[in-house]
Amino acid sequence: MKTLYYSSIFLFGISLVFMFSCTNGKANKSLDLKDRTNNTSEINEEYSLPLDAETPLWNYFSQPIILKSKPKLLWFNPTRYSIDYFDVRTQTLERKVILEQNGPNALPGIGMNSGIKYINEDTVIVFKGRLNRFSLMKASGEIYKHVNLKDYPYGFGSIDLKTSIAYRKGSIYMQQLPRYPEFLPKDFNPKYNKIAKINLSDGSVEEFEINYPAVYSDKKVPQQLKMIRLVYNEKIDKFIISYPLEEELYITDFKSKVDRHPTPSDLISESIPIDPKNESIDPSSIQSFYYWHNDAYENLIYDPQNDVYLREVRKGISEKEFIDRKFTSKREFIVLDKNFKQMGTFEFFSSGLNYYFFDGNRFFWEKDLQKFNLEDGVEDSIFFQSKVLDF
């Protein structure tokens, strides 16, 4: 039954994706990391994280944190209704913070389209739904503030399974989502190029508009391919923005000129617009098919300790693979230094990135859950691969 439950979580996550749905030119292909480092930089596959009987395998709330100078993994556990802290060095569940579901400090209904953002031990942000309200709590689980946004005319959160939240000096920054009318005009194609600054003290909202990538101006693509990844670098006091179909990264403080840095990948080809007349794909799956069919830039990761960025790139899958529900494809990480100079790349195969963390200059990320867990019936461990980022 437990294996069936995990499989259901995986399939539900995929089905949720189904439901929602210029430059300096191409640079020469960069050297692979193994060509620029010694043998210690080869991919290692010997690490695993054991799970207890109450911890689901599939979890999109996972995030790496540094707690008391040590790397940890944090995520929300829907089975226990807790925020769990894993010590990745000892490979143990270190702390379980049970959240209340009743009473004045309750946080009921956390699930799909919710989110958790760890800032520090005094500030953990929790929101649910399309961010009508967010709550602030301490790492111990003590909730000390609720901020309502239900009267704000725009949405937040995300139409995919993860929401990109950046924090700077008492405010969070998130992509602002357009509200869709009940009846969509035929040519309805809203832009997704606004970032909202939400003040944690009073809930006030300030909007910033960024240049909309040209790749989106003349093509109808799935909504999920318009969802940005956003990180903040305190060392330069700027935000880095990544669009799924845009080769360039946008670097901005929302005050001065936006800098743009190309990060080309050989996995990326020309984007494929939605063809509503495609009769081989069920109409209810058209958006999701063109999401998976397109090559795309996905996660954007910044590690302040090593001052490096990793941009994940995904190769699209074929129509047959989509119909057969085979979502694993070739991916790569593009590694950038603090000046956004491309240092190298390394490839892997996966259906998605859910768990990752750094320990020193070694980067860990999970092996494909669909292949190594669901297909093999393994439900008590997450298997990781790792790479030394040593240049």
In this structure, the dihedral spanned by the alpha carbons of residues 287, 288, 294 and 298, taken in order and rounded to 10 degrees, is 120
- CA 322 remoteness from chain centre: 21
Distance CA 253, CA 257 (A): 8
**pLDDT given at position 29:** 32
| Distance in angstroms (rounded) separating the CA atoms of residues 75 and 61 | 5
Neighbours of 119 (CB within 10 A): 16
One-character DSSP codes across 283-339: GGGHHHHHHHHS-EEEEEEEETTTTEEEEEEEPPPPHHHHHTT---EEEEEEEE-TT
CA-CA distance, 255 to 19, in Å (whole number)?
36
Q: What is the per-residue pLDDT for 163?
A: 83
The pLDDT assigned to 32 comes to 40
Separation CA 289–CA 239 (nearest Å): 31
Q: How much is the pTM?
A: 0.86
Interatomic CA distance for residues 210 and 15, integer angstroms: 31
Instruction: Flag residues of the chain having pLDDT under 50.
Output: 1-40
pLDDT digits (tens, 9 = 90+) for 222-253: 989 999 999 999 999 999 999 999 999 999 99
DSSP state of 244: T
Query: Token pair for residue 237?
Result: 């006091």
Angle of CA points 57, 94, 107, to nearest 5°: 70
Q: What is the pLDDT of residue 260?
A: 96
DSSP per-residue letters across 149-210 = -TTSSSB-S-SSS----EEETTEEEEE-BPPPPSS--TT------EEEEEETTT--EEEEE-
CA-closest candidate to residue 80, choices 103, 110, 116: 110
Matching residue, tokens 């979580």:
9
